[in-house]
Amino acid sequence: MNKVEKKRIKEQETIEKMIHIYCIKNHHTKELCSECKELVNYAKARSQRCPFMAEKTFCAHCKVHCYRPEMREKIRQVMRFSGPRMIIYAPKTALWHMLCTIKERILK
């Protein structure tokens, strides 16, 4: 597995964790509800087809936004809610995300 594929998998795992936190806390389920499963599948499909994976860190830093407007709004809600909670529920992932974001800002 090459570096870009590892990065893609890590990004997909991160967004899935964020959606999972959001769903459990807002939809009061133990497993993902159908709406959140759809969002996970959509996000993974977008990530899988991303031609900029080698250059970008996260979708928020991308020049091209490939999410449909309604899905983009859903993912924004998830990130606003889950982002601050990641440090509690997935501290390693949160730290990795913060370091990548800082690195992105420094290099640009």
Express each pLDDT in 23-60 by its tens digit: 999 999 889 999 999 999 999 999 998 888 877 767 77
pLDDT at 108: 62
CA distance 20 to 85: 11
CA distance 3 to 84: 28
Express each pLDDT in 23-33 by its tens digit: 999 999 889 99
pTM, 2 dp: 0.88
| Whether residue 19 has pLDDT greater than 90 | yes
